[in-house]
Every structure is written in C-alpha cells, then in structure tokens.
Amino acid sequence: MKKLLNKKIVFPFLALIIFFSTTAFKNDFFEIAKQIEIFTTLFKEINMNYVDETNPGDLMDTAIKSMLEDLDPYTQFYNEQDVEASRINNAGDYTGIGAKVLTLKDKLVIVEPYKNYAADKAGLKAGDEIIKVDNIMVADFKDDAANLLQGAAGTEVMVTYKRQNKTNTIKIIRESLEIKAVPHYSMVDEKTGYVVLRKFNKKASAETLSAIRALKNQGATQLILDLRGNPGGLLSEAINVTNLFVPKDQLVVTTKSKVKKYNKTYYTQREAIDTEIPLVVLIDGSSASASEIVSGALQDMDRAVVVGARSFGKGLVQRPKPLTYGTQMKITISRYYTPSGRCIQALDYWNRDENGKATRTKKENYNAFKTRNGRNVFDGGGVQPDVEVNLSKQTPITKAILNENLVFNYATKYYYNNTLNDLKTFKLSESDFKNFKNYLKTSGFNFETKTERAFNTAIEVAKEEELNTKINSEYIKLIGALQTYKTNAIDENKAQLKLLLTNEIIKRYFYSEGLYTYFTANNTEIKNALSILNNPSQYASILK
C-alpha cells in the first residue's frame, strides 16, 4: 500500500517536472504559474459573486478568444463543433444541405447552392436569407448557426427563409457531399489544358494529377493551373502538387520555429508527371498559404510563369493541438520559406500600430532573393507575379464594395429581374452598370479612405491645439478633393467592377461550373496566360 501511495505521488510529480522543464516553460515558469493562479481566482470570484447570473462557458470562451486576438488571426480555439468542421474541410467530405453559406448576425445567407445537391433540388437560390432552422431562430443562436444545417445523411431539416421580401418554409433531406479540390478542368484550345484547384484538402494532389492526365490524353501540351481564390490548406498537399511538375528530391519549402523540432525542410518525394510541359500559374489577392507555397516554389525554380496579382501574403504555419473535452487549438508554430529563402508573410502581427492593427511590410523593406536562373524575387508581401494583370488587383473602392456584399446583393436583384440564356456571349451592358451605380447610392454605400480617416484625426488634433482656424480652408480643399476622387472612383474602376458583377451574375444562372466555362472563353488572366504559352520565346524570356 505504501509503495502504491508513493507511485501515486511520484508519477504526477515527475510529470509536472517534465511539463514545466520543456523549452517553452523553462524561462517563464514562475510568470506562467502566477498568471494562471490570478486568472483562476478571478474566474471563481466572478462566477460566485457577480450581481447577475453568469455563464462560465461563455465567459471562458470570450477570455480565450480575447487572449488569442493579441497573437495572429490563425491561432484559434476550436470547440467540438469547430473541430468537426475543420475535419470536413480537410477531408473534402460534408454532410448537410449542400450549399455554401455566409453566417451573419441574424441570418444565414445562401452564397451558392451546389448544383444537383439537396439545397438546389429543394429550390434554394443564392441570396436567400435563412432565418429559422427547424424551431431555432438563427438570430437567437449564439454559436455558428451554419452548424444547424449539418446532420446525418437522410435526415430532414425544415428551413425558413426570406426571398424578395417573402417568407417560405421548405423541407430539405440532408445528404453526403464530396467537396472537390478540383471542381473544373477543360481544354481552353487544342493544345492548352486548364485546371482549377480551389483548396488543398487531402484529395488536392490526386485530383490535380487525374485532371492533368485527362487533359494530356486530350492533347494538352501546355497547362494553366488556376490558384485564384484558393485560401490554402494542407502543407503536405502543397508539396505533392508542386511535385507534379518538378523532379524527386527538390526543396519545396522550409519551416523555421523557436521550437527545434518544428524546423524542417520538405522535399519532393515522387517522380513528376511532367517536368517539361510549359506551365502558367494564376494567382490573386485571395491566393494564400499552400497556394503561395506552390506558386512561390515553382517561381523560385523557374518552372512556371506566375500571372495575375500579388498573393495574400500568409507565410505562417499552423498545427492543431488537442485539448481536453474534445476541443482543440490551431497554433502558429513557424514561418515557412520558399526554396530561394524568402518568407512572403505580409502582415506583422507582433509590431502593431497605435490602433492595435497589424502593420504591413513596406515595399522599401522587401529583401531580394534569386531564382535558379538568377531572377530577382522578393519577400515581405506575398508572391509577386512575373506578369501582373491590372484587373486582377483590387483597388480600395472595389474592396469596400465587395466587403459590404454589394456586388453579391446586386447580382441577386439582377437575377430576379432578367433572363440569361446564352452563357458564352453574356456581357454586362452600360445600362446595367448605370443601374448598379444607382443601386450603390440607394444602398447608402459611402466608403471612407485611409487618407480621409487620417485627415479627420488631424483636424481633431488641430482643434485641441487651437490650430483649426488657421488650417481650416486647406482642410476643406483636401476633403473636397477626396470627395471628387470618391465620386469618380466607381467610373475609374468600371472595368474591374463589371468583371466582378459579370462573374457573380453568371453563377446565379449557371453555377460555378458555368463560370469556369465562361472563363475559358472570356477571362482576362486566362487570355494573358494563353498569349504567353502560345509564344514560346516570350515564355522562355520571362523565366530567363
């Protein structure tokens, strides 16, 4: 009995010694223990003595998320539902109503019903606003209400939604859905294959490989790989996709961390499908993480011409860490570096501005690196395309319009007032664009530029210093100039706004599948890619 008692005491004691002697805790042991004790006693006192009833779970959830906000947006806490959603996202399997959904404060908005799946068959359309799921009001549901739509295949769910100011209720039978990493591939012309890779889940490299083989069988002797809008995913799959085009044992990415075991180099493991086929990779401001590993590695190796707009700039690597009671956290453990040695992280979350916002690395602080052929490439702000397409780069006003979902909302309005039969010849008319501008006015859209915010702050400081009367006339002139800019900005960005509107409208009638078909005949970036691929001397000169 005494020996057993000694074991019970010694083993936990040894475990604590090991726990607190790890690298992360060695130097900060006392401070960590102190802060945990302070928090524990504070948490206990609030729950015992606060004047109103408190919810310990909600308080802790808020405390955890507030703490993580001071780090970076990728270090996150996952409750049990979040863990399952993450598994689905990485695996590519989903059971629910079969629709992409946007969660807002008091409603769920159908962004896109997937063609021929449950929501589509039940008649839901993009723009429909779900206000009730079974007997639960979305506005009253504290967690992510989109989880209410998920459930076992074959089960029923009653959905109440608003459309064109009318409320409807329908029954939907949930079903399994395979979320494809490669939703589309086709021949653009007699020798050019086009592959859309939308996410890096567990099936990304296998689906990309199958698509390329199919296109080569159809006669493809050159390829376009579309990574636009691809937010990333699994690091292993980014390496595998790169491996499709480069030989075995090639360095793809390096990760560096303060924890030595996370310092790793990743090389290609297999033979490539084709190391010579001319390749163009398309990227934009929404291409992030794994997309940047692929495009950055292929650029560094001079294996592909990168076309489009500068990528998002996410050079941070996360790893899931299991916690208790089925919860989990995803924690940033390292930075990744492309083969040339550059880290393309754009935002600095550890040196924030006076408002607490992450600062962007300034262009003058970028560092130059060399590709295999000796071309200059730079760190600090995403992957810079070899050939930049101006229409791919969002301006402040187009970002503001997109952030307020005004392109999406106008497309909904357009859908219910117009008929569209011919996909390939569709073109947004001048009167349509005029209607869109009127829609912006009636919606109350009025974006504030950074310059305008800075001027407003400056005049407030001037008032405090009693200088406003002296600079007031100049201030009025500057604000007037800004208002003129804002008035003209929509027309100055007309070409890009028309493209955004066209893409959203086409999806309403022909789903994403139709949009990809439209792209092959009309998309500006694809036309640029074709021009480069069909001119071998230009392709070679870019890479040299």
CA distance 212 to 218: 10
Q: What's the pLDDT at 84?
A: 64
CA distance 306 to 287: 12
Q: What's the pLDDT at 7?
A: 41
Mean predicted lDDT score pLDDT of the chain = 88
Half-sphere exposure for 156 (CA within 13 Å, toward CB): 6
Return the domain boundaries, the chain.
28-59, 93-178, 184-393, 396-446+493-524, 450-491
- The three-state secondary structure class of 241 is helix
133 has which bridge partners? 136, 159
Q: Cβ-count burial of 468 within 10 angstroms (0-12 exposed, 13-18 middle, 19+ buried)?
A: middle
Q: Can you name the CATH fold of 93-178? A: Pdz3 Domain (2.30.42)
Contact 332, 72 (CB under 8 A): yes
Q: What's the pLDDT at 449?
A: 67
Q: What's the distance, Cα to Cα, between the start and end of the chain in Å? A: 77
Q: Which among 149, 112, 158, 184 is positioned nearest to 415, based on CA atoms?
A: 112
Q: What's the pLDDT at 29?
A: 77
CA distance 207 to 211: 6
At 79-90, the pLDDT tens digits run 776 766 666 555
Residues in the chain: 544
Q: What's the pLDDT at 116?
A: 93
CA 276-279-282 angle, to 5 degrees, is: 160
Single-letter amino acid, residue 79: N
Q: What's the pLDDT at 9?
A: 41
CB atoms within 10 A of CB 456: 13
**Which CATH architecture best describes the domain 184-393?**
Alpha-Beta Complex (3.90)
Q: Are the folds of 93-178 and 184-393 the same?
A: no
Q: What's the pLDDT at 12?
A: 44
pLDDT < 70 positions in the chain: 1-27, 81, 83-94, 448-449, 452, 455, 458-459, 465-471, 475
Q: What's the pLDDT at 320?
A: 86
At 463-482, the pLDDT tens digits run 776 666 666 777 677 777 77
pTM of this structure: 0.84
